[in-house]
Copies of this chain bind each other. A is one copy, B any other.
Amino acid sequence: MIFIADVVVHLKPVVNDPQGLVVRDGLRRLGFADVHGVRVGKHIQVELDAGDEQGARAAVESMCDRLLRNPVIEDYRIDAVRAVAEAAAAS
């Protein structure tokens, strides 16, 4: 079965996120005065074959541990793992 997993990787809260600051300032300059803060991270969509959802999730967890995030500076979470009909959404 084919699954798509959404992985979110963010800098740890203690690590400075200059990009977030720039986006925040940009938004404020555009008139969005109510923005308190912005953090910019990565959203990684992985499409994979797996027996079932548990299997897919376990595989993606291991991908995160090995490659998708750098544990020194980043946290991650797996947002969703869903089966897709058949063919690919991501290619």
Q: Which residues of A contact B (CB under 8 A)?
A: 2, 6, 8-10, 13, 20, 23, 26-27, 30, 32, 34-50, 59, 62-63, 66-68, 79, 88-91
Contact of A23 among B27, B44, B49 (CB under 8 A): B44
Q: Does the CB pair A37–B47 fall under 8 Å?
A: yes
Q: Does the CB pair B88–A36 fall under 8 Å?
A: yes
Q: Does the CB pair B34–A38 fall under 8 Å?
A: no
Q: Does the CB pair A40–B42 fall under 8 Å?
A: yes
Q: Does the CB pair A47–B23 fall under 8 Å?
A: no
Bound complex: CA A26 to CA B5 (Å): 17
Q: Does the CB pair B49–A45 fall under 8 Å?
A: no
Q: Does the CB pair A50–B34 fall under 8 Å?
A: yes
